[in-house]
């Protein structure tokens, strides 16, 4: 690859310091016991008969302990005399195919063997209602054929919009359990009606016209560990989920800075964030109908070094970067990326940024395209991914700013190190 002369030269990077931030404390949660307790309580509030089938909808997000949660939910249902099965609920992920979505769950450890319940993967849906007088509401046919349906999902700030309800139970009900048809419908009509407003209306219609009984809401702490698990009945979704979102926002992890010259993200992936890299961390979101996330962070240059293995080539989100590596480009399954981008109307997230041969050149280009700046003055962060914001590398200029903070431990400076292929070496497995 031919490069301009200033990138052919040996790069002059400042030293970097490892920074470890002490997150807010939170109490440890016994996850299986919490799930079992909440499922038992929800069953006590609903009518059911032994032997009835229950669809347990599970999405593509990489929650900590997800197989453990699904296993505990299925075990509780079976112990009560019900017959659970696992339903992939993830819109267009997995290439919008039944086989692809089952493979996504398997990559997350959610299998029939691990969770003690069969997986029924199909993209078939039924139209069950209409929201806002014109928006069709779809629901998985496999779920409708059961007597009951529940879902399990993380409640957290969304990566596309802001509102009283964002990512969580109602979104899984409309988009995940609506399969590809539901995802297309929601994102298409959300442009007209507003994503937050439409979400509430579609969820309300789905609850009224389906067999959905309750959702298991998971709120995580700043280290992405389960902090709170709660079964929310269908009739109580509109009241309770906004309260759980506020709890999630209070514990959401962010970098201890509001602006950067350079942000290097070691890897992106769908199990890390629906947007590949979370704009609530990076501040980067450019697409049609998306809220402004720049209050979280303003970074002049953003580079992505790799795709996560679990993303299986879905590189949605790379378009929010300025620079990627050849490794990202070659690992891209563009058909999956395109399917996800078109379905969510997030075309910009599927754009292919400037690509450079390796990590060294990608980082060098970030520094070199800032203008006439001395490297020692550049405020830069290198992250493993947007799930890991409490352990990162900071350039010397930024480390000096963070040093007075009591919650930041600053390690001695070291030069950036690269292997023979130009890949970054770090104190932890930064780029996978």
Q: What is the DSSP string of 135-201?
A: EEEEEEHHHHTSSEEEEEEE-B--SS--SSS-BSHHHIIIIITTHHHHHHHHHHHHHHH-HHHHHHH
Cβ partners under 8 Å of residue 239, min gap 6: none
CA dist 121 and 251 (Å) reads 34
CB contact at 8 A, 422 and 360? yes
Pick the CATH number of 31-250 from 3.40.50.11440, 2.40.50.700, 3.40.50.720, 3.50.50.60: 3.40.50.11440
Q: Are strands 259-265 and 380-383 parallel, antiparallel or unpaired?
A: parallel
**Residue 327 · residue 314 · CB < 8 Å:** no
Distance (Å, whole) CA 139 – CA 124:
9
Rounded distance between C-alpha atoms, residue 198 and residue 192, angstroms: 9
Domain limits, the chain: 5-23+254-425, 31-250
Task: For 4-20, write each residue's pLDDT tens digit.
Answer: 888 888 889 999 999 99
Map residue 389 onto helix, strand or coil: coil
Q: Name the percent of the chain lying above pLDDT 70.
A: 99
Q: What single DSSP character describes residue 100?
A: H
Tokens (6 digits) for 106: 């398997």
SS3 290: coil
pLDDT under 70 in the chain at which residues? Answer: 428-432
Q: What distance in Å separates the CA atoms of residue 260 and residue 239, rounded to the nearest whole number?
A: 38
pLDDT of 432 = 44
Predicted pLDDT at 431: 44
Answer yes or no: are the C-beta atoms of 260 and 300 closer than 8 Å: yes
What pLDDT does 428 receive?
A: 60
Summarised one tens digit per residue, pLDDT across range 217-258 is: 999 998 888 999 999 999 999 999 999 999 999 888 889 999
Give residue for tokens 């002049």: 300
Pairwise CA distance, residues 37 & 35, whole Å: 5
């Amino acid at each position: 690859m031919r490069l301009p002369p200033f990138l052919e030269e040996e790069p002059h990077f400042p030293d970097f310091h490892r920074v470890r931030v002490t997150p807010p404390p939170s109490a440890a949660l016994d996850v299986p016991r919490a799930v079992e307790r909440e499922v038992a309580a929800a069953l006590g509030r609903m009518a059911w008969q032994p032997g009835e089938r229950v669809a347990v909808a599970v999405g593509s997000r990489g929650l900590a302990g997800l197989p453990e949660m699904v296993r505990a939910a299925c075990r509780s249902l079976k112990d009560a005399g019900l017959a659970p099965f696992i339903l992939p609920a993830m819109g267009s992920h997995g290439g919008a195919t039944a086989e692809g979505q089952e493979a996504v769950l398997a990559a997350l450890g959610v299998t029939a063997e691990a969770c003690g319940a069969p997986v029924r993967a199909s993209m078939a849906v039924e139209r069950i209602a209409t929201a806002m007088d014109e928006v069709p509401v779809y629901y998985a046919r496999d779920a409708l054929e059961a007597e009951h349906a529940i879902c399990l999902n993380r409640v957290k700030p969304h990566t596309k919009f802001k509102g009283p309800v964002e990512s969580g139970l109602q979104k899984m009900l409309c988009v995940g359990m609506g399969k590809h048809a539901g995802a297309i419908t929601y994102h298409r009509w959300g442009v007209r009606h507003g994503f937050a407003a439409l979400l509430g209306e579609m969820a309300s219609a789905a609850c009224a016209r389906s067999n959905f009984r309750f959702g298991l809401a998971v709120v995580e702490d700043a280290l992405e560990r389960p902090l709170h698990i709660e079964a929310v009945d269908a009739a109580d979704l509109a009241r309770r989920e906004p309260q759980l979102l506020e709890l999630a926002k209070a514990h959401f992890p962010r970098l201890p800075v509001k602006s950067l010259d350079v942000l290097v993200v070691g890897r992106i992936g769908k199990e890390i964030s629906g947007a590949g890299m979370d704009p609530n961390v990076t501040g980067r979101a450019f697409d049609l109908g998306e809220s402004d996330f720049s209050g979280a962070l303003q970074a002049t240059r953003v580079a992505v070094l790799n795709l996560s293995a679990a993303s299986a080539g879905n590189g949605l989100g790379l378009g929010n970067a300025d620079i990627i590596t050849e490794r990202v480009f070659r690992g891209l399954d563009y058909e999956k990326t395109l399917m996800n981008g078109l379905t969510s109307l997030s075309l910009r997230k599927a754009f292919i940024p400037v690509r450079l041969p390796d990590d060294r050149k990608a980082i060098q280009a970030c520094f070199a395209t800032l203008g006439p700046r001395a490297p020692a003055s550049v405020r830069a962060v290198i992250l493993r991914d947007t799930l890991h914001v409490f352990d990162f590398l900071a350039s010397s200029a930024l480390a000096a700013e963070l040093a007075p903070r009591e919650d930041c431990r600053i390690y001695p400076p070291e030069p950036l190190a690269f292997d023979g292929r130009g890949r970054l070496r770090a104190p932890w497995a930064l780029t996978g």
